[in-house]
């Protein structure tokens, strides 16, 4: 809405709005009753204390406040699929594991480093990346009657239809 293309006709109590034409020049005029015009404009004003833009996750006010106070160390990018320690020292490896735990806590709202039984703090002993070992552990749990959690989604059996 441009104030340059709008004028108020005092005698008729109308707002006259000159639309932009398709060629960029002025187009047709629209005459609107003053109260109807105000109703149209007010419909776009949000109620008090309602935010139209919401910032979640890393950009939220809470996360920014924690970073500014120094309570939360910034997350360092980690290359996925790296199996060797990449020359990292023990403290650096522990920091990466802690970052992983913080991400799990943020996404699932569950702290993976707190024991569900006693509430004590757990520590990460190792990370298993080999599929053969993971399948063997899950098979052993299945023999004992322990159901594993939901796995990754299955691949699509048929390809998606192509769109134009």
Please determine, for residue 59, whether its predicted confidence score (pLDDT) is greater than 50. Answer: yes
For tokens 């007010």, what's the residue? 42
132 in a domain, yes or no?
yes
Top pLDDT among 151 and 143 is at: 143
pLDDT tens profile 9-34: 888 889 988 888 777 666 788 888 98
Closest by CA position to 121, among listed 140, 107, 105, 133: 105
Structure tokens at 60: 């939220």
Q: Which residues contact 29 (CB under 8 A, 6 or more apart)?
A: 16, 17, 18, 19
Q: Which one has a higher pLDDT value, 164 or 121?
A: 121
Question: Are 61 and 27 in the same domain?
Answer: no
Look at residue 112 and tell me if it is in a domain.
Answer: yes
**Is 136 part of a structural domain of the chain?**
yes
Segment 75-124, tens digit of pLDDT: 666 555 545 556 677 787 777 777 777 777 777 667 777 787 888 888 77
- Residue-level pLDDT at 78: 57
Same domain membership, residue 138 and residue 71: yes
Indicate the number of domains in the chain. 2
In contact, 124 and 113? CB cutoff 8 Å = yes
* Upper half-sphere CA count for residue 118 (Cβ side, 13 Å): 3
Largest CA distance in the chain: 87
d(CA 11, CA 13): 6
Range of the domain at 12: 3-42
């Amino acid at each position: 809405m441009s104030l340059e293309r709008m004028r108020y006709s005092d005698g008729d109590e109308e707002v006259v709005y000159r639309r932009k034409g398709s060629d960029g020049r002025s187009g047709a005029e629209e005459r609107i009753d003053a109260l109807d015009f105000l109703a149209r404009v007010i419909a776009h004003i949000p109620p008090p204390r309602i935010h139209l833009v919401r910032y979640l996750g890393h950009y939220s006010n809470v996360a920014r406040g924690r970073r500014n106070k120094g309570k939360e160390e910034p997350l360092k990018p980690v290359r996925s699929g790296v199996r060797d320690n990449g020359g990292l020292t023990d403290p650096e490896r522990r920091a990466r594991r802690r970052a992983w735990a913080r991400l799990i806590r943020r996404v699932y709202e569950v702290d993976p480093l707190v024991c569900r039984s006693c509430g004590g703090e757990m520590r990460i002993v190792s990370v298993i990346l080999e599929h053969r070992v993971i399948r063997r552990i899950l098979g052993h749990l299945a023999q004992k009657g322990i159901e594993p959690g939901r796995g990754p989604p299955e691949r699509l059996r048929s390809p998606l239809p192509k769109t134009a």
